[in-house]
Amino acid sequence: MSRDNNQEELQFSTRLLHFGAEIDRATGASSVPIYQASTFHHEDIHNPPLHDYSRSGNPTRQALEDYIALLEGGVRGFAYASGMAAISSTFLMLSAGDHVIVTEDVYGGTYRLLTLILSRMNIETTFVDMTELDQVKAALQPNTKAVYMETPSNPTLKITDVAAVTEWARSHDLLTILDNTFMTPYYQRPIEQGVDIVLHSATKFLGGHSDVLAGLAVARTPEIGAQLKMLQNGLGTVLAPQESWLLMRGMKTLEARMAHSERSAARLAAWLDDRSDIAKVFYPGLAQHPGREIHERQSTGYGAVVSFDVGSGERARKVLNKVKLPLVAVSLGAVESILSYPAMMSHAAMPAEVRAERGITDGLLRFSVGLEAIEDLINDLEQALTE
């Protein structure tokens, strides 16, 4: 019986399960096979096989790459050994002497790449507050080649008007890149708004189980896809077959996990916002969150990450030591809740004065809400916040 269907016509929840490689056509197996092979035999040297060496292409990884391209609405996907491998490989589309405009409160690993590594290759960066389009425009230089967005940003959840930035960038022939880790394609599909390359730390919400390290990229056009493929193959920054399989398994439950975690995150944000001992709460679902209207135009949900400032570094460390349910750890987006301390974890690579300029205070905590009962998470945080 034929199972062919047009995935583009299916609802997102259906595409998560019926993405084209969910059934192995050779055996009927209900899971993509793990092709744990480094090389592939050539039956006819004049007609080489589709895959010849796993750095250049592997059937398991290819299934994942096609999967994320389908979900994001791009023409071609790529899987990497980590989120930073995806980001760094993409930035190497730039050349010495080029300039890029970047969201100012970008993920700490991206900041480190730009300021400590790519700067040595004479690739220049200007960090701007992308909530202000005029600041983006003012950063344009004769050698500007790309604009890099992160929305909501990490960890203060600032909102960039993706359509406005992309329209302006296109008028200047600039490449647009967007880190979609926090929203995932379930809530936000930037390619539909004209973004050229979408990136993911797939370790986070896409994988969802704290058991795989992976990065993904999706290209809007075949030409950009060809460039990314050359870099992926040339740099060897590929995801292994076992991790590719684990990531696909996690992605199948993306909608169910995100929907549950978002409901809980909204309740947590409202509870924190009502407390007089919390200096500030950052969550796009709050009525007073800056950029909420823009976010609602370009996304279908608010996500599962809530950041909040408890007032001081001393108090933040006390809370981290007293909570019992969430992991106190780097990362986010897992089935279990994760409480992070950006100043000493995700953004430790930023100098203290730079963090302060971006609102990443010593009292800031980032809560990635998992699948636990929200009542239990709130009760646990209540006792941790009690002096």
| Positions marked active-site | 55, 107, 179, 204
Q: How long a stretch of residues is the chain?
A: 387
Write the CB contacts of 361 (distance below 8 Å, at least 6 apart in sequence). 309, 313, 343, 355
Burial of 222 (0-12, 13-18, 19+ CB in 10 A): exposed
Cα-only R_g, the chain: 21
Farthest CA pair distance, the chain: 74
Strands 305-309 and 280-282: antiparallel
Give the list of residues 6+ apart from residue 127 with CB closer than 8 angstroms, or none.
102, 103, 104, 106, 111
Place of tokens 């790449």: 113
CA nearest to 271, candidates 356, 383, 345, 381: 381
The rounded distance, in Å, linking the Cα atoms of 213 and 211 is 7
CA 310 to CA 317: how far, in whole Å?
A: 10
d(CA 126, CA 104): 8
Q: Is the peptide bond prior to 351 cis by the omega test (within 30 degrees of 0)? A: no
Nearest-angstrom CA–CA distance, 59 and 29: 15
Closest CA to 140 of 160, 114, 121, 165: 165
Smallest CA-to-CA distance from 339 within 286, 265, 251 is with 265
Helices (H), the chain: 12-15, 59-72, 83-91, 108-112, 133-138, 162-171, 184-187, 222-235, 241-251, 254-273, 292-298, 313-322, 352-357, 374-385
Which residue do the tokens 């953004």 mark? 347
Tell the residue number behind the tokens 């940003």, with chain if given: 153
Position 224, amino acid: I
| Structure-token pair, residue 12 | 């997102």
